[in-house]
Amino acid sequence: MITARYHREIPQRYRLEAGKCTKCGYVAFPPRLVCPKCNTKKFKPIVLKDEGKIITYTVIRVGPDKFSKETPYAIGIIELNDKLRLTAQIAGVVDFDKLKIGQKVKLVFRKIQDDGKAGIHMYGYKAVLV
């Protein structure tokens, strides 16, 4: 991944920056130019709170080449307490059989991948059980 592409996602990946529609209150993560609910084009920046729960999950045992050394790893759809959902790895799970829908999680800052060619480490959020 070229550095510019990585760099422009930093506000979302490092700080969970989202956009809130000034008319209907829809929260867009990542920020968008057009509100999918009411088509308004005005947003104000907000920062999401980092706690939520698992809506659904899976344990990936066959991954793309980039992640193949990390398998098996858990990944889930997380609903944050402000109702917004995102996809994140669920880190630090010792026993995958004990993972459950509804479990509470917190988003933490972690390394996500490495880029072999450009040599940059890429960071972002992962969920951990609380």
Partner 1 sequence: MRDVVVIGAGMTKFGELWGKSIKDIFVEAALKAIEDAGVKQIDSMYVGAMSSGLFVGQEHLGAVMADYLGVTPIPATHVESACASGGVSFRQAYLEVASGASDIVLAGGVEKMTDGADVTEALATAADQEYEVYQGVTFPGLYAMIAHAHMKEFGTTRKQLAAVAVKNHRNGAKNPNAQFRSDITIDQVLNATMVSDPFGLLDCSPVSDGAAAVIVTTMEIAKKLKKKPIKVIASAQASDTIALHSRPSITTLGSVVNAAKKAYKMAGLKPSDIDLCEVHDCFTIAEIVVSEDLGFFKKGEGGKAAEKGLTAIGGKIPINTSGGLKSKGHPVGATGIAQIIELYEQLNGKAGDRQVKGARIGMAQNMGGSGASCVIHILEGGK
Chain residues that interact with partner 1, rule: CB under 8 A:
9, 12, 30, 36, 55-67, 70, 73, 75-78, 85-89, 96, 101, 112-113, 122, 124
Helix-strand-coil split of the chain, %, nearest 5: 15, 45, 40
Residue number with CB closer to partner 1 (41 or 100): 100
Min CB(55)–partner 1 separation in Å:
6
Min CB(60)–partner 1 separation in Å:
5
Cα angle 2-70-47, degrees, rounded to a multiple of 5: 55
Min CB(56)–partner 1 separation in Å:
4
Which pair of tokens denotes residue 48?
A: 């999401």
Question: Which region holds residue 39: left if phi is over 0, alpha if psi is between -120 and 50, else beta?
Answer: left
